A and B are shown apart, each in its own frame.
Chain A
Amino acid sequence: MKKYLAALICGFGAGVLQIVPLVKSFSCCMILPLAASISLLLDQRATRNFGKIPMKKALLFGLFTGLFAALFGSVFELLITFITKNNDVIASFTDLQRIVQNLPLSEEIKKEVLNIFQSVREDILKNGFSILYTFSVILNNFIVNSIFGSVGGLVGAQIINSRLSNQSNGK
């Protein structure tokens, strides 16, 4: 666990940035790749090993950063939803209705989709919890964050390693 402490710290940061209201509005596709790259830099400083980073290690660090971000992100999101009984699903429900109504679909399908999301919305408003919403949050967070984290780890290591090569070439 200690080995991946840097990934844990950066994953926590990225998870918070993705979820917490207001801060979330600064969210961008670069947050997780940046967090994964920073975790590699933090690990270098912690272990005082400033040599080339093996790509396998970079991939693992990126993956763990993504997984920790997903873990913290999911917990925070579900907790905030449970306490406030409100979230972006409820906020965007009217938009969703508008989008679905504008799509060239049969009335039956439109009604079915809107019924599902109406039931999710009602569950959240009433209990602060919905099984479908919880499942979608967990699945989404773990898949997306692990992909973006792994990409960030690989690109970050590539950048750090080329900087090292430049320094050694300059000497």
Chain B
Amino acid sequence: MEWLTKIDEHFVFVLPFLQKTFSLVCHQEKNKLLFFDGAETLACARCTGIYLGLLISSVLVLFKLSKKKFHINILLIASVPMIVDVLLTSLNIYTYSKLIAFSTGLLLGSIGFFYLYAGLNNLILELKR
């Protein structure tokens, strides 16, 4: 948020609105947020990882650095670390780690984007027909 207010101070008026927006898609638990330069993220470490993964993959696709078509099992495999981490931390088998949460989210987000991309491609093809 701080970088937005550096562009224009008035962006501070959208801060509560943005917080509310992200609260719909993330629990925003205080101890699970990431901190950058003293400012906290609006989504938890895992969700930040997912969004960042989506962003990285979309940039790769945009600049045609990657046009991979993944088999469905890859998505399932990519989601396993996240599911295992959620289960094990929920059952208190080990303590929540922001790094693990972020990494597992990043993995799922970056692979997941290729399914969204394929879906969008198929949708465009269908509409063209």
Binding site for B on A (CB under 8 A): 18, 24-32, 54-56, 58-59, 73, 88-89, 92, 96, 99-100, 102-106, 109-110, 113, 116-117, 136-137, 140-141, 143-145, 148, 151, 154-155, 157-159, 162-163, 166
Contact = CB atoms under 8 A, between A and B. Distances in A.
Given A28-B27, A155-B119, A117 B16 contact: yes
B5 A55 contact: no
B21 A144 contact: yes
A33 to B, nearest CB: 9
A36 to B, nearest CB: 11
Interface string B15-58: 11101110111110100000000100001001100110000000
Nearest to B118: A158
A19 B41 CA distance: 21
A148 B12 contact: no
Contacts of A162: 71-72
B112 A155 contact: yes
Contact of A29 (B25, B116, B119, B120): B25
Contact of A100 (B12, B118, B123): B12
23 contacts: A18-B24, A25-B29, A27-B27, A28-B27, A28-B47, A29-B43, A29-B51, A31-B25, A58-B119, A89-B16, A89-B20, A96-B15, A99-B1, A99-B15, A104-B6, A109-B10, A136-B16, A137-B20, A151-B116, A154-B119, A158-B118, A163-B72, A166-B72
